[in-house]
Structure 1
Amino acid sequence: MSSIRNSSIRSSRARSGGGRRRTSAVLALSTVLALTATACGDDGSGAAGDRGKEGSGKGEITFWDNNGGVRTEVWKKIIKDFERKHPDIEVKYVGIPAESVQSKYDTAIQGGGLPDVGGVGMAMLSGISAQGALEPLDKRVKDSALQGKLNPGMVESIRASGDGKRMYTVPTSANNGTLWYRTDMFKAAGLDAPTSWPKFYKAAKELTDTSKNTFGYTIRGGEGSIAQALDAMYGQSGITSFWKGDKTTVNAPENVKALEKYVGLYKKTTPSADVNNDFKKMVAQWDSGRIGMLSHNLGSYQDHVKALGKGKFRGIPNPTLADGTRVQVSNPVDGLGLFKSSKNKAAAWKFIEFAASHKANSQWNESAGAIPANTEAAEDEWVQRAEPTRLAAEALNDSSVKIVQLPYHLPDWNTISKADNEPDLQKVLLGKMSSKQFLDSLADQLNKAQAEWKKQRR
């Protein structure tokens, strides 16, 4: 397996304006840096699969949105445009909440009822592809208008997260951790922007006034809390690799100390409700206007604009160490998968190809504030106008940034990082389990999963 090299995207169309070209190059390079450490070469396979199920290319197909309720509106616009272009195809939209989509797929794989097309990101890709549920898409992409139009770093990330050889989902976007902060509250308190961890902790303390029900920070304690905790841990510890040999570094003493400091914010500078908050509740709570900072990702930008209006907040890359070094965990690429059980793969593929095309991909990512996978969409003007997206890309282009690659290659990763450990992290927040106990348990599970994965690959 070979490391992904830094690369830049060249659009098939000539563009004018030096600033615009620089933004595109930064986006491409930052995505490659942020998303994955290694990827194996494609073996050139990925044929269309069971040709008997290609179907007529007409009729109804079912699409599962893996972030239903959050991206429903933009998907319905894209579907409407697709059906206008393909009047003989009807897309049945089913929105599945992000926190339950993995279990929905697993249940459908075992009992039937999978969609034709579904949102499948890197975090769950390995587990789903290992069950043989997804169609390899390399040949379809090669023979389509998408050839040469997908960010190469995202493509290699997808391959590395599957079987290391084939593309089991067409990448649509990339996200990065973002620290959102209230510029008006910081200005009123005379605080510097929380660009470093020392400034972050100072602001969390000084912006908290429990008598007025105002808090410096909101911490994620509900569903999806593990990735945020890992980002805070590695960001403070300065450890730059998830593995040391065949053993994980999650329970290294430096990470234990970092987690202790981070969870120590709970109820001191955060609301007590945080222990149960998933991202929707956390974002809504921050948007109420009484909390100084929020760690989420680029995807909540539009929510903040609607709730707070422009000019009252900013989204910046995660804090740096005191010496200016930024360490952060990788964030998964999202994508669209074609399921082998589909009886109308021809129509389903037309929808994937359309959704990943320039206009639709740009439309979706602008709505989400994420980095487009389509290289032409990555050059659109909105990318430069969207400060959080631009700043995240520029920061990742900085040579001081170190990326800790999460183990998306492990089929058990999504389960380990969610259902198996979220309840224990809540115990840590509540003082019923120590940070060391929690991280030792997490490390034991990860080491066993890594050993099993290596055994199966022999």
Structure 2
Amino acid sequence: MDMKRRELLAAGLLGGFGLAAGGARPARAQAQATIRFLTPETDPSQVRVWQELIQGFAGVNRTVTIRPEYASWDDLVRKISADLIAGAPPEIVAGSSRTGFMASAARRNLLVDLAPLVDELGRDDFHKPSLEAWHYNGIQAAIPYGMQWPVLWCRTDLFQEAGLALPTTWDEYRAAAERLTNPSRGIYGACFPAGRTWNTEIQSSITIWAAGGHIFDERLNVSLDTPEVRRAMTYYAEMCRFSPPDIGQYGFREASAAYTSGKSATTFYWGRVLSHLYQQAPDLLQKTKTVHIPHGGKRATSLGWDEFVVYRGRNSRAALEYVKYLMQPRQVYMMMEPVIAHVVPTRNSVLPMLRQHEWVQKNPDIVTTLIEPIDFGISATKESPNHPFNYKWDAFQARNILPDMVQRIVLGREPVALAVEKAHKEAVEATRDIRQ
């Protein structure tokens, strides 16, 4: 480990380690506690940072052993659910972003209230809306350390070659995608996923919102079988025609790889693509620009978070000590550094470090849309200011209703109206008996 890393890790000593569940001091009984730390953040560069952070914590707390575990985004909730059934959940989950699942866990009294930790760290240093987004059942169910939203990554050289401006609306994007698609060259103008994956769910949700539609109405009744949703799915299917032929398997990694490999001229993705370009295709950095996702009448994107959750158990106190260590500004920056601009820190004290990063300063055309605040981000569990928190979302999401609808339309060639009608009925059935 180099000297810079040692200095960053040493910052965890600042402020001590006095916090425990409920605000009491750690008990001596927690000696030699083993903490399971589960995360889907598994890029090799991030795994290296997780290991460095574990080593740094070991240097200041020899009574706790951190055992990292990794799972894919699409498998994470299933893994936690299985562990809960077995009565042995991981002490810490990092970066799940499944708000409905975590809200359900809070209602079942499975989570530690992290409000005392927020207060000890300094509540005024946090982005207030992000904290509020994770306040369920009267507790701070998670501490978000970063927020994020996807944008449209564009090959500016291909747009310029075709005499096209970067798109802002569906009509502009559809026309550009058709012009840029050239199967003989192995290039496709768009990259709309159709896999049975979370990525497909997010992108189809954004498309629905951008058409002015909702998945649930303001009374939390299913609202899929509407003209807005049918229009959104018609557009989605059209854009799939200009996407790579293997989109039926696409999740997050495939959507990013399509862009960095040169297969797609555009892709929806978060800031992680910047690190992928540096690692895999640095020649594309000067040929890339990001814009906000083209809309069909209403600007919209998906707003999500990376966060720490602590499950109740005999090692909760030790788990809180590690979360406190991780939430120190320099440690937060370390977590973000390998994928800089992928997430915007929720602690104001981390922002100056982010803005000084070499990649941020060298790539303003890429990072501006990723780190400048937006006011059109939407969370699936609260689709508008007039919507209450959607306690039905977890049951809806568990059935893969949106990805299955997309697959029926794109892969099965089912008429949009019929596929939307089926999805609506499935959603009604899946959420019929759900009560808050």
Q: TM-score, normalised by structure 2?
A: 0.81
Please say if 1:101 is aligned against 2:82: no
d(CA) in 2 for partners of 1:209, 1:277:
20
1:135-214 aligned within 5 A: 135-142=112-119, 144-159=120-135, 162-163=136-137, 165-214=138-187
1:282-321 aligned within 5 A: 282-309=255-282, 310-321=285-296
Distance 1:135 1:127, change over 3 A: same
d(CA) in 1 for partners of 2:248, 2:263:
18
Please say if residues 35 and 91 of structure 2, whose CA atoms lie closer than 8 Å, have aligned partners that are also in contact. yes
d(CA) in 1 for partners of 2:64, 2:75:
28
d(CA) in 1 for partners of 2:298, 2:278:
27
The equivalent position to 2:42 in structure 1, one of 52, 63, 68, is 68
Which deviates the most, 298-307 or 110-119?
298-307
Distance 1:449 1:430, change over 3 A: closer
Which deviates the most, 62-71 or 439-448?
439-448
The equivalent position to 1:363 in structure 2, one of 334, 354, 371, is 334
Secondary structure of 1:201's counterpart equals helix
The residue that corresponds to 2:309 in the other structure is 337
The equivalent position to 2:374 in structure 1, one of 396, 399, 411, is 396
d(CA) in 1 for partners of 2:400, 2:215:
22
The residue that corresponds to 1:128 in the other structure is 105
1:403-418 aligned within 5 A: 403-407=377-381, 409-417=389-397
d(CA) in 1 for partners of 2:245, 2:181:
13
Alpha-carbon deviation of 1:246? 4.0
d(CA) in 2 for partners of 1:379, 1:248:
43
Alpha-carbon deviation of 1:430? 1.4
Secondary structure of 2:246's counterpart equals helix
Alpha-carbon deviation of 1:74? 2.8
Please say if 1:420 is aligned against 2:395: no
d(CA) in 2 for partners of 1:407, 1:108:
24
Please say if 1:352 is aligned against 2:323: yes
Alpha-carbon deviation of 1:358? 0.7
Deviation digits for residues 246-270 of structure 1, max 9, x if unmatched? 434433202211211221232x311
Distance 1:320 1:362, change over 3 A: same
Alpha-carbon deviation of 1:206? 0.6
Please say if residues 112 and 311 of structure 2, whose CA atoms lie closer than 8 Å, have aligned partners that are also in contact. yes
Deviation digits for residues 286-312 of structure 1, max 9, x if unmatched? 211131010122233211332222212
The letter of the residue matching 1:365 is M
The residue that corresponds to 1:33 in the other structure is none
Secondary structure of 2:266's counterpart equals strand
d(CA) in 1 for partners of 2:395, 2:421:
17
Quote the sequence identity (%). Answer: 16
Distance 1:272 1:202, change over 3 A: same
Distance 1:362 1:446, change over 3 A: farther
d(CA) in 1 for partners of 2:142, 2:216:
25
Secondary structure of 2:322's counterpart equals helix
The residue that corresponds to 1:429 in the other structure is 410
Structure 1 residue runs of 5 or longer lacking an equivalent are 1-45
Please say if residues 157 and 333 of structure 1, whose CA atoms lie closer than 8 Å, have aligned partners that are also in contact. no
The letter of the residue matching 1:436 is A
Alpha-carbon deviation of 1:335? 0.8
The letter of the residue matching 2:126 is L
Structure 2 residue runs of 5 or longer lacking an equivalent are 1-19, 383-388
The residue that corresponds to 2:15 in the other structure is none
Please say if residues 395 and 430 of structure 2, whose CA atoms lie closer than 8 Å, have aligned partners that are also in contact. no
d(CA) in 1 for partners of 2:410, 2:432:
30
d(CA) in 1 for partners of 2:307, 2:274:
20
Alpha-carbon deviation of 1:444? 4.1
Please say if residues 303 and 378 of structure 2, whose CA atoms lie closer than 8 Å, have aligned partners that are also in contact. no
The letter of the residue matching 2:35 is I
Q: TM-score, normalised by structure 1?
A: 0.77
d(CA) in 2 for partners of 1:52, 1:145:
17
1:208-247 aligned within 5 A: 208-222=181-195, 223-224=197-198, 225-235=200-210, 237-239=211-213, 242-247=216-221
Please say if residues 215 and 292 of structure 1, whose CA atoms lie closer than 8 Å, have aligned partners that are also in contact. yes
Secondary structure of 1:180's counterpart equals strand
C-alpha RMSD of matched pairs (Å): 2.9
d(CA) in 1 for partners of 2:324, 2:230:
45
How many aligned positions are there?
Answer: 396
Distance 1:296 1:136, change over 3 A: same
Secondary structure of 2:38's counterpart equals strand
Alpha-carbon deviation of 1:438? 3.2
The letter of the residue matching 1:407 is T
d(CA) in 1 for partners of 2:426, 2:21:
36
Alpha-carbon deviation of 1:106? 0.5
d(CA) in 1 for partners of 2:81, 2:182:
45
Distance 1:251 1:405, change over 3 A: farther
Deviation digits for residues 323-345 of structure 1, max 9, x if unmatched? xx65214422221111102x222
d(CA) in 1 for partners of 2:288, 2:73:
26
d(CA) in 2 for partners of 1:197, 1:91:
47
Secondary structure of 2:78's counterpart equals helix
Alpha-carbon deviation of 1:319? 1.5
Please say if residues 304 and 379 of structure 2, whose CA atoms lie closer than 8 Å, have aligned partners that are also in contact. no
The letter of the residue matching 1:264 is E
Alpha-carbon deviation of 1:416? 2.4
Please say if residues 56 and 344 of structure 1, whose CA atoms lie closer than 8 Å, have aligned partners that are also in contact. yes
Please say if residues 37 and 67 of structure 2, whose CA atoms lie closer than 8 Å, have aligned partners that are also in contact. yes
